[in-house]
Structure 1
């Protein structure tokens, strides 16, 4: 800040083509695309603490539920190639990824974004602004469910974002094309509708 130079020793794991896919709790979920197989890790940039995850292949939309120092940290993501699949990994409980294929026709896997974990359920925004949830049930199987339609939809010129907030649970932020208008909606769990 004062024009001084600061030097940091860069760990070997952080050399190469890095892509940040998610952040939270002071941690970054990072792919190192230079490694074969692809290397996925959780990184604390303040302490240089790195938690390597097992090889997974490339997972497009991915998020994590808690700091990797927590016993209930779960990483969840979606894979869509010839099939659409959900992959998840309990960081401190399992050595490998688990997952299952999803068989449905009404969702285009490429249209989902902003995966957000809450109570082991994965919420995603569909391209039109609809909120969907993928319930991960360990014993009874898992299922996909539409939770709420976006209020007034999400016009193509607008940008919609899904944000987790401790106090209000899930927020939908809708911004017009130039950022001049911003609307924030809170998910009402009782009515399954967005409250402005």
Structure 2
């Protein structure tokens, strides 16, 4: 709990520094010595179940007081996992400060995410700030005005990228706390 709260508070503090660019999008990508991960459907399902349990535990902490936290099924383009899958995503719905909120989380295996932070910001997103995380990675914040989406995308030294997005403005610190949570990883055995 302390780590999640510390990450949320750090994220909030870092967002306050957004105008002073506390990290660069020139983060080296892809990292050297990326080791691809290939798991069976059973291994991935076990991991998906662990991810959901983690979401049930951390969402009420990251989104202080969130209620009715409901993780959706993990999968790729459709619900469900399959052998050799290199990323998994899901939605989480909950009530926060009296409103219904939905987030989308995607966990990418090492080497799956090809865009560097710089390329992501130049070609694919409107980035608002970039901050170093506490474990050698970098978190890029972006927004999509057309759809009202805010996002935190965490690039990690092992080649993983985890991102969490929301359609609720002002949730960037919470999204960063979740995206930087190392429990969301393909490399755990």
What's the TM-score bracket when you normalise by the shorter of the two chains? under 0.3
Structure having the higher helix fraction is 2
- TM-score, normalization by structure 2: 0.25
Higher RCO, Cα 8 Å, sep 6+: 2
Structure having the higher strand fraction is 1
